[in-house]
Chains A and B, each alone.
Chain A
């Protein structure tokens, strides 16, 4: 029998330098050796905040997708969702490290002795996360999860595609890798929305509800914060308003094949993720994601 308090102890044991696979915290810097100079004329704190926004979108979405592990309808879907979550986690790691490199005061303020990405992922509270509210809502059923994934990956693909020409070389490189990955994510979600929407009466009905639950979050993802507007003007970031036409076109193609309507509903969500104003769902998600790292900073096992 494992006692509650000794389970974490055994997980946190030191295994020496020959452990081949590290889990938990304390990884090498994922930007090790990458030139992280800040482009001319760009405020370092702005750049760091912008990287946090893009990192938090990916990190929180990744954590939600991970919650499907052992719960997905079929093994193949479980593997697919875990793969998508892993890609997004990787994007998030690079972006968190880029945020820390741009403004080292940011991670050192929350956890001075940890690698930047760990400090920023595990030691910020909910009001210090800048993800859009879309990604933090509960998963709901599989239909709602693929509806959200379709909206998220369609939006993020359009965003990353524009970010490949960023004047910040790190952002441009992270985006170029991300575009290849998110193209697969969007196709995966789109195929499921079509398969369920154009399926049985039951699957059609549940897909319709999944989309209805998602539409109220769409308005927010096209509203740029002040930081995003400044960085877009400096050709470092992307203005979210400019993504809407491409988003509507891709979503429209999927929905017409899924025999489901697009509804441009007014937001009923009283949150603004880019300002750190979130729903309670984020606090619960972060509590679960952060508890081990906070109990055992820099633990590996």
Chain B
């Protein structure tokens, strides 16, 4: 029998993120697994970036639609909450695409020391270069921005504001 069905994993990996459409779900690190059983039923697992991520429903719909279009008739998209998503899971390809689109990429997520979580009372000094002009002289305006995963910064060189995917 000749099969023309494209590998389900390839299909799922190409689905773009609804909020950062320059990235695929695989680039962002939210696509955790794609399994196809002997009968051709596909099970995809995804994890939310933040608890309140409003894009989870859209991701589920997009994954189902893409896999149906590729010929898979049984598709189950499951949520997995543990381990919690980290910006460390954004792939190198994903980081390159973010930078191309003027969004500064996250550094390594903060490692947790023993004991209570310490307060951070001053803006964290991060080496974030301006994605527009390349100047290393940038400052944080707010740890919150247009989506849950981004902070707002400003370049002291070209004076333009830009977004930064904050470490989590």
Contact = CB atoms under 8 A, between A and B. Distances in A.
B119 A173 contact: no
Interface of B is mostly: loop
Interface in B86-134: 116-117, 119-122
Given A90-B48, A178-B51, A83 B121 contact: no
B52 interface: yes
B76 interface: yes
B36 interface: no
Nearest to A58: B51
Give the size range of A's interface with the partner: 35 or more
B119 A177 contact: no
A254 interface: yes
Contacts of A76: 141-142, 144, 152
Given A176-B83, A187-B143, A190-B119, A20 B18 contact: yes
A180 B111 CA distance: 11
A46 interface: no
Nearest to A246: B116
Interface in A1-34: 17, 20-22, 27-28, 30-34
A22 B57 contact: yes
A184 B168 CA distance: 9
Contacts of B84: 173, 176-177, 180
A247 B56 CA distance: 33
Interface of A is mostly: helix
Contacts of B41: none
Nearest to A174: B81
B119 A250 contact: yes
Contacts of B146: 79
A31 to B, nearest CB: 7
B3 to A, nearest CB: 27
Given A21-B58, A79-B145, A177 B81 contact: yes
A101 B119 CA distance: 35
A187 B152 contact: no
A84 B142 CA distance: 12
A170 B119 contact: no
Interface string A143-181: 000000000000001100100000001101110111111
Interface of B: 18, 45, 48, 50-54, 56-58, 60-61, 76-85, 116-117, 119-122, 141-146, 148, 152, 166, 168
User: Which 7 A-B pairs give the minimum distances between C-beta atoms?
Assistant: A33-B78, A90-B52, A90-B51, A173-B81, A173-B82, A80-B144, A86-B52
